[in-house]
Amino acid sequence: MSKSPAEFFAENQAIAGFDNMGKSLYTSIRELMENSLDACESINELPEISVSIEEFTQAEFNVLRGLHTGKGGTASPIDAELFQKKSSSRKSTGGDDAAGEDGKKSKKKASQEGYFRIKVRDNGCGMRHNDVPNLLGRVLSGSKYGVRQTRGKFGLGAKMALIWSKKSTGVPITVTTAHRTEGGNPDAKPPTKVSTCVLDIDIYKNCPRIIEHKQKNNTDGWVGTEMELLIAGNWTTYKSRIVQYLQQLAIITPYAKLEMTYTNASDTTNKKDVSIRYDRRSEQMPPPAREVKHHPSSVNNLLIQQLLERTKTKTLAKFLTTELSAVSASLAKRVIAELGSGFDDDMHPSDLTDKQITRLVQLLRSVQLFRPPDGSCLSPLGEYNLNLGIRKVLEPTMIATARDKPGAYEGHPFIVEAAVALGGKNDIAKEGITVVRFANRIPLLFEGGADVSTRVAQTKIRWANYKIDHKRDKIGVFVSIVSTKVPYKGTGKEYIGDDITEIQLSVKRALQSCCNQLKAHLLKRNALRDIKERKNRLVKYVPDVSRALFGLLDGMRQRKRLQEGGGNDDDSHNSDDASPAKKKHRLDKAAALNMIRRLDRKEITEESIRDDLRATIEAHHAISLEEDAADAKGGKKVGVGKGDENRVPVFLVPLYNFDDPTHDIIHPLFTFRPIKPVKIILQSKDGE
- Which among 516, 536, 566 is the end of a domain? 516
Residue 374 DSSP label = -
Mean pLDDT of 50-56: 93
414 inside domain: yes
Write down the pLDDT at residue 680. 45
Within its chain, how far is the Cα of 579 from the centroid? 75
339 inside domain: yes
- Nearest to residue 441, comparing CAs of 483, 400, 474? 483
Write down the pLDDT at residue 659. 54
586 inside domain: yes
Lowest mean pLDDT among 16-20, 208-212, 358-362: 16-20
Mean pLDDT of 642-653: 49
Q: How many CA atoms lie within 13 A of 271 on its CB side?
A: 1
CA–CA dist 10, 167 (Å, integer): 8
Mean pLDDT of 590-611: 82
608 shares its domain with 553: yes
3-state secondary structure of 612: helix
Look at residue 350 and tell me whether its pLDDT is greater than 70: yes
Lowest mean pLDDT among 201-215, 281-295, 547-561, 666-680: 666-680
Distance set, CA 559 to CA 310, 564, 655, 656, 659 (Å): 111, 9, 8, 7, 15
β-strand pairing of 257-264 with 48-56? parallel
Lowest mean pLDDT among 125-139, 159-173, 205-219, 669-683: 669-683
Write down the pLDDT at residue 684. 47
Look at residue 189 and tell me whether its pLDDT is greater than 50: yes
Write down the pLDDT at residue 186. 60
512 shares its domain with 528: no
684 inside domain: no
Helix axes 235-252, 21-41, angle to 10 degrees: 20
Distance set, CA 378 to CA 255, 262, 373, 382, 645 (Å): 18, 35, 11, 11, 54
3-state secondary structure of 637: coil
Look at residue 660 and tell me whether its pLDDT is greater than 80: no
Task: Give 672 or 400, the one with higher predicted confidence.
Answer: 400
Q: Which amino acid is at 569?
A: D
> What residues form DSSP beta bridges with 409?
412
Q: Are 48 and 123 in contact (CB under 8 A)?
A: yes
Percent of the chain at pLDDT > 90 equals 34
Phi, psi dihedrals of residue 131, rounded to the nearest 5°: -90, -15
Domain count, the chain: 4
Look at residue 265 and tell me whether its pLDDT is greater than 90: no
251 shares its domain with 119: yes
| Residue 632 pLDDT level (bands cut at 50, 70, 90) | low
312 shares its domain with 195: no
Q: Are 425 and 391 in contact (CB under 8 A)?
A: no
Percent of the chain at pLDDT > 70 equals 79
- Nearest to residue 26, comparing CAs of 241, 286, 341, 323? 241
Mean pLDDT of 197-225: 90
Look at residue 560 and tell me whether its pLDDT is greater than 80: no
Lowest mean pLDDT among 16-20, 106-110, 207-211: 106-110
Specify the long-range contacts of residues 156-160, CB closer than 8 Å, at least 24 apart. Answer: 156/9, 156/16, 156/31, 157/31, 157/34, 157/35, 158/31, 158/32, 158/35, 158/227, 159/6, 159/201, 160/9, 160/13, 160/16, 160/17, 160/18, 160/27, 160/28, 160/31
Q: Are 411 and 298 in contact (CB under 8 A)?
A: yes
Write down the pLDDT at residue 542. 86
> What residues form DSSP beta bridges with 399?
421
CA–CA dist 50, 30 (Å, integer): 12
Segment holding 396, helix H or strand E: none
Write down the pLDDT at residue 458. 93
Q: What is the DSSP string of 200-211?
A: EEETTTTEEEEE
β-strand pairing of 407-409 with 412-422? antiparallel
Q: Are 422 and 397 in contact (CB under 8 A)?
A: yes
424 shares its domain with 553: no
| Residue 477 pLDDT level (bands cut at 50, 70, 90) | very high
267 shares its domain with 403: no
Q: Are 223 and 183 in contact (CB under 8 A)?
A: no
347 shares its domain with 424: no
CA–CA dist 357, 305 (Å, integer): 7
Write down the pLDDT at residue 42. 87
Residues in the chain, overall count: 688
**Residue 232 contacts by C-beta under 8 Å, 6 or more apart in sequence?**
21, 24, 113, 114, 115, 116, 168, 169
- Which among 278, 310, 341 is the end of a domain? 278
CB atoms within 10 A of CB 521: 15
356 shares its domain with 403: no
683 inside domain: no
214 shares its domain with 346: no
Q: Are 59 and 73 in contact (CB under 8 A)?
A: yes
Write down the pLDDT at residue 1. 59
CA–CA dist 568, 570 (Å, integer): 6
Mean pLDDT of 221-225: 91
Write down the pLDDT at residue 642. 47
| Residue 361 pLDDT level (bands cut at 50, 70, 90) | very high
Write down the pLDDT at residue 688. 46
CATH of the domain at 437: 3.30.230.10
Segment holding 686, helix H or strand E: none
Residues 69-99 have pLDDT tens digits of: 655 555 667 777 777 777 655 444 444 444 4
Write down the pLDDT at residue 675. 53
561 inside domain: yes
CATH of the domain at 353: 1.10.8.50
Look at residue 468 and tell me whether its pLDDT is greater than 70: yes
Write down the pLDDT at residue 230. 93
249 shares its domain with 342: no
Look at residue 11 and tell me whether its pLDDT is greater than 90: no
372 inside domain: no
Average pLDDT, the chain: 81
CB atoms within 10 A of CB 505: 15
Mean pLDDT of 618-645: 61
- Which among 490, 516, 542 is the end of a domain? 516
Q: What is the DSSP string of 319-365?
A: HHHHHBSS--HHHHHHHHHHH-TT--TTS-GGG--HHHHHHHHHHHH
Distance set, CA 569 to CA 554, 562, 579, 597 (Å): 17, 12, 22, 11
Residues 375-392 have pLDDT tens digits of: 888 999 999 999 999 999
270 shares its domain with 302: no
Mean pLDDT of 488-496: 81
Mean pLDDT of 344-355: 90
Q: Which domain holds residue 333?
A: 296-366
Mean pLDDT of 406-410: 90
Q: What is the pTM of this model?
A: 0.76
Write down the pLDDT at residue 266. 79
Most confident of 50-54, 154-158, 540-544: 50-54
62 inside domain: yes
482 shares its domain with 571: no
> What residues form DSSP beta bridges with 230?
117
CA–CA dist 397, 469 (Å, integer): 15
